[in-house]
Amino acid sequence: MSWYTNRGDIMSKDFISTDEAPQPIGPYSQGVIGEGRWLFVSGQIPIDPRTGELVEGPIEEAARITIENVLAIVKAAGGSPDNVVKVTVYMTDLGDFEKFNGVYEGYFGTSRPARAVVEVSHLPKGARIEIDAIAVL
């Protein structure tokens, strides 16, 4: 895990990085803490952080790995699933919603963050699911 700070003229922000989640595939950070307590987690797809490879297979497995990637970044910032206040889920097939929802409930069932689920036509690397999150630390 690394945590570094950029103190700009307008706002300070801390960047979160962990080997427990996939490294960014573009010019962005895994997570950014803005002005102290708000953590913004970049969209995560089902990439195995150990191999860097997209995980194929059933939506349940893709959802599990994607959620674990999001939560690894939350944990690296000092949080837990209970700190997550908003989740946005992008899926290429809402026909998988029920199966996804069963996996999601296992991670967030009691903390119940606000959530939106949106069907999209394509995701990076051909993934079937992408999740981003906001947490208050």
Kindly list the domain boundaries of the chain, sorted by start residue.
2-136
Closest of 67, 65, 102, 60 to residue 81, by C-alpha: 67
Q: Which residue has the tokens 């069932």?
A: 109
Q: How confident is the model at residue 10 (pLDDT cuts 50, 70, 90)?
A: low
Q: Measured between alpha carbons, how far is residue 135 from residues 56, 122, 126 in Å? A: 28, 26, 27
pLDDT, tens digit, 9 for 90 and up, residues 13-51? 899 999 999 999 889 999 999 877 999 999 999 999 999
> Angle at which helices 97-108 and 59-76 pack, to 10 degrees?
30
pLDDT, tens digit, 9 for 90 and up, residues 64-108? 999 999 999 999 999 999 999 999 999 999 999 999 999 999 999
The CATH class given to the 2-136 domain equals alpha beta
Tell me the pTM. Answer: 0.92
- In sequence order, what are the beta bridge partners of 34? 13, 38
Mean pLDDT of the chain: 93
